[in-house]
Structure 1
């Protein structure tokens, strides 16, 4: 089969990159020099080419090159049978995926060799064969690319030994087909986000660290190769404590012919930090003035839940300015305004409707953040990548993710900050249609509620007509480009009118001010990561779950002195009932599952 000239050039480029990565030329020079010095002293001109090739084969150079080249037959990939239940958790095994590598773009070869000083796991020992133990997983996010390492047993010095190939390119029009030079790479300000998750044998996940790694110093290194140690910090209240150290090796592939001095990179990083600090300072000055104007409307506004920055409600009368200077923090302890946590997020073909998005978010585990020692609740908002990697978070994380997905579907969505019926702090999502229909979305369970404001001057209502939603008060609403504080006489949800353009009811912040620190062009905060398809085979998982449930039922009935007989035909016929349950939760369409069961039982008679 003949190849086109373009394919031949691409193949040559890939081979050249692979040989450069292995440093084949340097190894050949070393072997030839040692051979001429040790085996052929004084007769260099009499050594034949065949003799040198024989010495290269004896040294194993050709074998090393051939081991780097993997051949795979098209028909060698075997898909598991969906009717076979693998008791060895084969449903969780991930199959190797191959992706096309564009030789016209530069890539960042990131190798995580091992970890050191993970002192919290000093008591963890090496697992015995077949023993289930806690393990580490490293998650990486860089410029819309997500990767995950294989599980590594928890230890003081975990041996990760993982390599990731990250593509570096500019998103501007016309730059996609052109290899980025050193100047262009220097302007790419996106860091590599490293997240380490610990998973216990029970399936509970714990966030160990979240670190933003600055990779651009590799541009100033010789041959664009850099070996470095990264100190990882803890999260939340332990953000100043070292959680461990990672040994990294970073390489730019292919290497750049243009060398950038270390002083230029340092000046670029310093300039970016100064610009970010200046934008935040100007936004803080504006927000302080905005807050003063908000308090002048009504003195009782200081008791409302207005989350511009503060990790706690702005309730203190004498410490308002201190709270304003206390900017909202993420899991790394970085200061961030609330609007910077969400952006429109498109799920592609993974989620087809907004109802499916609400169902997806509700399936993520809810866990309240506690202080060290189990104190009161700490309000800590997580980066979206961290929240998705851990697969659990607080109510704010769920609301931000759901609002981002709804914004991606083109809805006018906002995150509401207020209280629930029992007075506890809570966040949920509200969408407002063009016709003025207000819909509440509960991110923890996927429920929806239509809101209709009640006129407080109307006569008392029948208790059966009261709203069914659990929300009591609302202090503010916001999304990625707007922030509105509730300035109505009462902050009760029942009497609140969600006409955000009415300045007599809602005091909004300047869109330009919000865009200066949260906009796409600001470059202050990393964009939201994309959603990834599940790597689990649903058929294998469902069959495995059914077998485990059968075993538990049989054991329970045996303890009661009963025998158990399973009817496989009836089990299959009950499948439509289970599908009806899931369809009802996803679409919201009320389907009588009892009617399905009756019809199935009648069909069995």
Structure 2
């Protein structure tokens, strides 16, 4: 208003009229009353602290969260003849949607610790999960203040909870957000921070502004901050009183807490009974069973070493978003996917032949003759075999899936001799199914699939590998020649390798061998090294080649007639996961060797 008074273009009468109109508008819309209620509540809750100099900032934050400013802007726009064009198309199907705007991030101080050479290979991405819906933002340059500027539209469906379409207050689905740092070199991501938001606060005014602190590895220290705006959009206007929202959320929280407490009491009693029935005959058995109460982390080169520092059982959303996790995450995801295909599958906990804790998947089926067939799946290698032929896992102590939990109470827990008739209570002790149903469940995170053209990626990787090989051989003064025909022949071998990994059976390489012989002719020596990685960085691939004795032998070949072949095949999966097969080969005439 001071600026208006100082303006020579506004007469005092006009200025007074404008002030009166603004005052009337704020009274009509209830803004004065809302702000007065906020201030009164704040003073009553904080007492003497209400005189702090930080008061205005705290009160403005509350005003923003309650959506008063957004509601005011909405009413002003509704009286305007020209409305803003939405940046995202909202379906006009009568359903209810939650429009989420991400307006940037800040204070991601972990990104400041990266070396300049590393920052160029990193990027950050915002991810969100609500019910059975997931979204990922476009990648942004890695910085302490990532410039997120995205909009996501989530459907809010109360009918899935057994309520009417308008009973949105009953939708207790958590709104899970995360910020991840992508590694373009290794094609993985790491979690910077996450948080779960109670979205139903938006039901009061239809708008909600939030400044969300994300929780990272260091407890109590925010990993970063993101600014969000939530808007409820639908043809029918739905609003709830703030006290009704708070009351319903609290009721549901108490119900969940009581269910958790009752299940914990039951499971402890069940565990006590199980220990008495099973009998721990040695310290090794006791240590094994105690270790089953802990989460397991995949150590370097191990199946599942214990981790006491952090939780290894990541949520599927985080596990999928960062594309890496612990052995237990792989087992849980594989089991979930097998269940989706109608297979009777279970996550299993036991031990490996090396004495470490093992997490794997067991599936049961019946053949045409009615005989039971049990398959043990190694979730990190894809290998599967019968229990009697298992060379990785030694024992099985319990099995569970989304509906049941069974503990092995047989005389021996040896995987080769254990009976997998898990519904026989003389062999397996079950948790009460009714008790398991009390545990709250939420929709699982769906897989994201992005269409990726593999051919350009393969060609680019081959060009980079050829350049890297030539540079390496130039260092000791040797000219490198490439044979495109041999490179083409290598493709069929890579296809066979991938098929062998996915199908599990041995593949015949006879036609490939005939192709190599027919292409090279008589009197030629042929050497090749195949390797499989999950990233697209040529430098990292070369490191793997040089680390192998056969790879070094191929790269160090010094023969006048030597010709090299390079071929890459990329197989694309959901979540931008790649199976990258590379083969580097050399052929030369035996007569050329002095």
Q: Work out whether the TM-score is over 0.5.
A: yes
Give the secondary-structure state (helix, strand or coil) at the position aligned to 2:280: helix
Does residue 1:407 correspond to 2:339, yes or no? Answer: yes
For residue 139 of structure 1, the aligned residue among 124, 127, 139 is 127
Q: What is the CA-CA distance between 1:205 and the residue it aligns to? A: 2.5
Distance in 2, Cα, partners of 1:304 & 1:482: 27
Deviations 1:208-231 (A, max 9, x none): 12221111111102xx11112112
Give the secondary-structure state (helix, strand or coil) at the position aligned to 1:169: coil
Distance in 1, Cα, partners of 2:445 & 2:181: 21
CA contact (8 A) 1:414 1:430 kept: yes
Does residue 1:233 correspond to 2:221, yes or no? Answer: no
Distance in 2, Cα, partners of 1:405 & 1:195: 24
Q: What is the CA-CA distance between 1:563 and the residue it aligns to? A: 2.1
Distance in 2, Cα, partners of 1:377 & 1:494: 33
Give the secondary-structure state (helix, strand or coil) at the position aligned to 1:300: coil
Aligned to 1:512: 434
Compute the TM-score of the two structures, normalised by the length of structure 2.
Answer: 0.67
Within a 5 Å distance, the mapping from 1:97-136 to structure 2 comes to: 101-123=91-113, 132-136=120-124
Q: What is the CA-CA distance between 1:385 and the residue it aligns to? A: 0.7
Please report the RMSD computed on the Cα atoms of aligned residues, expressed in angstroms.
3.7
With over 3 angstroms needed to count, the CA separation of the structure-2 counterparts of 1:416 and 1:294, relative to structure 1, is same
Structure 2: gaps spanning 5 or more residues: 1-69, 522-594
Deviations 1:152-207 (A, max 9, x none): 233333321222122222454999xx9x42xx211111121112111246445221
Q: What is the CA-CA distance between 1:389 and the residue it aligns to? A: 0.3
CA contact (8 A) 1:195 1:210 kept: yes
For residue 169 of structure 1, the aligned residue among 152, 157, 162 is 157
Does residue 1:418 correspond to 2:340, yes or no? Answer: no
Does residue 1:436 correspond to 2:372, yes or no? Answer: yes
Aligned to 1:396: 328
Aligned to 1:38: none
Q: Which has the higher contact order (CA 8 A, sep 6+)?
A: 1
With over 3 angstroms needed to count, the CA separation of the structure-2 counterparts of 1:483 and 1:413, relative to structure 1, is same
Q: What is the CA-CA distance between 1:526 and the residue it aligns to? A: 2.6
With over 3 angstroms needed to count, the CA separation of the structure-2 counterparts of 1:167 and 1:301, relative to structure 1, is farther
Distance in 2, Cα, partners of 1:287 & 1:265: 33
With over 3 angstroms needed to count, the CA separation of the structure-2 counterparts of 1:468 and 1:29, relative to structure 1, is closer
Does residue 1:471 correspond to 2:378, yes or no? Answer: no
CA contact (8 A) 2:105 2:148 kept: yes
Aligned to 1:562: 478
Distance in 2, Cα, partners of 1:531 & 1:382: 16
Deviates more, 1:491-500 or 1:274-283: 491-500
Within a 5 Å distance, the mapping from 1:16-165 to structure 2 comes to: 26=76, 101-123=91-113, 132-165=120-153
Does residue 1:252 correspond to 2:232, yes or no? Answer: yes
Does residue 1:207 correspond to 2:197, yes or no? Answer: no
Give the secondary-structure state (helix, strand or coil) at the position aligned to 2:224: strand
CA contact (8 A) 2:99 2:232 kept: yes
Deviations 1:10-56 (A, max 9, x none): xxxxxxxxxx99979845967x9xxxxxxxxxxxxxxxxxxxxxxxx
Distance in 2, Cα, partners of 1:278 & 1:173: 20
Q: What is the CA-CA distance between 1:377 and the residue it aligns to? A: 6.5
Give the secondary-structure state (helix, strand or coil) at the position aligned to 1:528: coil
Q: What is the CA-CA distance between 1:575 and the residue it aligns to? A: 1.9
Distance in 1, Cα, partners of 2:452 & 2:364: 36
With over 3 angstroms needed to count, the CA separation of the structure-2 counterparts of 1:540 and 1:477, relative to structure 1, is same
Within a 5 Å distance, the mapping from 1:525-604 to structure 2 comes to: 525-593=441-509, 595-602=511-518
Distance in 1, Cα, partners of 2:285 & 2:105: 42
Aligned to 1:195: 178
CA contact (8 A) 2:96 2:156 kept: yes
Give the secondary-structure state (helix, strand or coil) at the position aligned to 1:494: coil
Give the secondary-structure state (helix, strand or coil) at the position aligned to 1:563: coil
Aligned to 1:282: 262
CA contact (8 A) 1:430 1:441 kept: yes
CA contact (8 A) 1:488 1:506 kept: yes
Within a 5 Å distance, the mapping from 1:494-513 to structure 2 comes to: 494-513=416-435
For residue 315 of structure 1, the aligned residue among 267, 273, 290 is 290
Q: What is the CA-CA distance between 1:423 and the residue it aligns to? A: 1.0
Deviations 1:442-497 (A, max 9, x none): 00010011123xxxxxxxxxxxxxx4421122211111111111111222223222
With over 3 angstroms needed to count, the CA separation of the structure-2 counterparts of 1:330 and 1:280, relative to structure 1, is farther
Deviations 1:537-566 (A, max 9, x none): 211111111111111222222223322222
Deviations 1:481-524 (A, max 9, x none): 1111111122222322222122222111111111221xxxxxx2
CA contact (8 A) 1:417 1:475 kept: yes
CA contact (8 A) 2:212 2:228 kept: yes
Distance in 1, Cα, partners of 2:308 & 2:159: 44
CA contact (8 A) 1:294 1:301 kept: no
Give the secondary-structure state (helix, strand or coil) at the position aligned to 2:94: coil
Q: What is the CA-CA distance between 1:315 and the residue it aligns to? A: 3.3
Larger Rg: 2
Distance in 2, Cα, partners of 1:538 & 1:287: 49
